[in-house]
Structure 1
């Protein structure tokens, strides 16, 4: 089993780095993409291309994974979380914008009384298998059953650590609307979501709701859940603008000039939720190093940054605490306000938790 797990994690690392991409599409899937200007030669493409990878690169990553020091890739202690109840959430005021980090890139919002979820992953593993693959370092602070009715679920792309089949199936009965990138609606329909409950987006498309403008914006990444569906669905980031607050959620992305364009069109942002984790020098095109995450925040004209995509799953070759250590040091150097909440902390956008180096108490001496 250990050998199988090692092989699986190697493949997952390759997928995180963008090395596994199959370009074949069915006729139906090709038709779905025809309306997008980002769809070329049978697949979706980035505005700023990512570097093509070869079998030689594949072998280099495999060799590195099997020879790398695995020390502290996962915590050997129980990490802190603040457990939540439905009663706590319902007690929050309906005349403001609340946020709760659920772990990795999963976030719960209470937007003027409505509950929204960003990339909800509640399963124990970020994997197609329940018995193998990256396992959570900590539980979620609240279960799906305990959550109040959800008005909206927003998905950034279809990778397993962002689009979780079991979570979606559990959310079907209590969610009014799912907002997804082009093509992802196909999976949701298979999992029981009614077609009328799904809205799919191309980059730069937006909708206006009772409480906010929601826009789907570009990122520099890729998609795929198997060896045969690479880039058949779109990927991206989300902008949420109410009458008082403006929030950006990066999904996954390599650094690119699109951050400046988003900042110019929708910024400045009171809060940016920026990917800071699962990075490596071998795949800089699709995941940002902490230095690039900070620059993305600057490009977006962000006020406060919360680093996400860290502290929950082992998806790369760095230690579990390195992303938070590096990004907080860089933020201090650039005089950037950064918030690093414990999983389950309840925050208001206008009164965010300051930097708390909570992880340092759990690092090895």
Structure 2
């Protein structure tokens, strides 16, 4: 048990998990008007899970169903139909949006190249058996992406901030725009702090 515990501790402390904010970044978080009682608050309250779900299902039964219920209808029965766009061939001056699946978009706006929430791996998870990409949905790789003016990250969940993808794109990224606190990941991963722009 001790070896398993140490192994688990070591696993969650690898670079892929990032590190907690510290120093001036932590001070900025603590001073934020959106940070109350130890966490960030949405400007408009949004319930994570209502007390009563469909058919008066409670949180426990909803969680039980999520963890152990039938998931056969949650994945497509056949590969998704996808078309891979040659991003290098797009006219740089043309405003374009290319949806790459889930929340991942490639944008050209006003002569700038922007990539949002890229996840190019087979799993949106630190382990291979959780959140597998639908067949046909992950057709892009970092090699398919031209040099970027901005890498924009909405939040730090695995399906929006994927360590292997970010590291594969690192040399192509001019600036990173991310939420307050998430810049700690990028600094740990060797991105120049002057090119990380954290918005509250």
Shift of 1:105: 0.5
The alpha-carbon deviation at position 79 of structure 1 amounts to 1.4
TM-score by length of 2: 0.75
C-alpha displacement of 1:176: 0.3
Alignment counterpart, residue 188 of structure 1, candidates 159, 178, 186: 186
- Identify, as 1 or 2, the structure richer in helix: 2
> For residues 176 and 119 of structure 2, what CA distance do their matches in structure 1 show?
14
Cross-structure match for 2:55 = none
Q: How does 1:108-257 map to 2 (within 5 A)?
A: 108-129=106-127, 131-137=128-134, 138-202=136-200
Supply the distance in 1 between the matched residues of 2:139 and 2:21 (Cα, whole angstroms): 40
Unaligned runs of at least 5 residues, structure 2 = 1-19, 52-57
Match of 2:4 in 1: none
User: Which residue matches 1:43?
Assistant: 39
How big is the shift at 1:93? 2.5
Name structure 1 gaps, 5 residues minimum.
1-24, 203-365
| Partners of 1:108 and 1:116 within 8 A in 2 | yes
**Separation in structure 1 between the aligned mates of residue 93 and residue 22 of structure 2, nearest angstrom:** 47
Structure 1: distance between partners of 2:80 and 2:132 = 14
Structure 1 residue 75 displacement after superposition:
1.4
Is 1:32 equivalent to 2:18 in the alignment? no
Query: 2:120 touches 2:140 (CA, 8 Å); kept in 1?
Result: no
Aligned length: 173
Cα distance in structure 2, aligned partners of 1:90 and 1:169: 20
